[in-house]
């Protein structure tokens, strides 16, 4: 029982540190600044380096990394104006679910939305830092680090023309 309590305490501290290091991304990996090579130095090589997403199972958490397929162009709808293999988003899903209040996050800064298809599931979004927290009731399902509000100028507009 003591091992479980210590493990839970460590998990809560890791999640708390993850959310409190908001402006820095996750473990030094920052959306729109870090690259696949930065991720591979931290987590190991990609299993499929040609894909624009990678899932790492770290035991205590699963880490899903999304990468850019390249800068804006007229044949592409959406995306970010950054080089290919730049980190776009990082989603952390803890193996042991923490409670929202254990994150010690000021949720009043976040916009709360209920999932229309799954009542009782909520999304909390803080666009200034690009962080969203997904919960089922009061249990944290995932924390996602995406581009911050200051990075919106890098968002690709639909450049396709209809002639």
Strands 121-126 and 139-145: unpaired
Query: Which pLDDT band, with edges at 50, 70 and 90, does 12 fall under?
Result: very low
* pLDDT tens-place string over residues 38-81: 999 999 998 887 889 999 999 999 999 999 999 998 887 789 99
Q: Is the pLDDT of residue 20 over 50?
A: no
What does the pLDDT average to over 10-31?
A: 61
Please say whether the beta carbons of 136 and 121 come within 8 A.
Answer: yes
Please say whether the beta carbons of 31 and 25 come within 8 A.
Answer: yes
Query: What's the order of all strands across the beta sheet hosting 87-94?
Result: 53-57, 61-67, 87-94, 139-145, 131-136, 121-126, 111-114
For the chain, the structural domain boundaries read: 2-154
* pLDDT tens-place string over residues 115-141: 999 999 999 999 999 999 999 999 999
Q: What was the pLDDT predicted at 78?
A: 82
Q: Is the pLDDT of residue 83 over 90?
A: yes
Q: What was the pLDDT predicted at 159?
A: 53
> Considering Cα of 73, then 71, then 64, then 15, what sign does the dihedral take?
negative
Q: Which residue has the higher pLDDT, 12 or 48?
A: 48
Q: What percent of the chain has a predicted confidence (pLDDT) above 70?
A: 82
Mean pLDDT of the chain: 85
Q: What was the pLDDT predicted at 163?
A: 38
Tokens 């104006």 map to which residue? 81
């Amino acid at each position: 029982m003591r091992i479980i309590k210590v493990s839970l305490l460590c998990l809560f501290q890791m999640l708390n540190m993850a959310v409190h290091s908001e402006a820095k991304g996750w473990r030094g990996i920052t959306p729109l600044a870090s690259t696949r090579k930065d991720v591979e130095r931290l987590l190991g090589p990609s299993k499929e380096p040609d894909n624009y997403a990678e899932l790492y199972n770290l035991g205590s958490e699963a880490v899903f990394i999304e990468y850019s397929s390249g800068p804006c162009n007229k044949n592409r709808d959406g995306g970010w104006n950054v080089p290919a293999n730049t980190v776009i988003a990082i989603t952390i899903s803890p193996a042991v679910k923490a409670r929202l209040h254990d994150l010690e996050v000021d949720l009043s800064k976040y916009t709360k939305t209920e999932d229309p298809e799954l009542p009782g599931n909520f999304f909390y979004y803080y666009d200034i830092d690009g962080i969203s927290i997904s919960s089922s009731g009061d249990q944290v399902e995932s924390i996602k680090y995406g581009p911050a509000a200051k990075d919106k100028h890098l968002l690709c507009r639909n450049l396709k023309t209809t002639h």
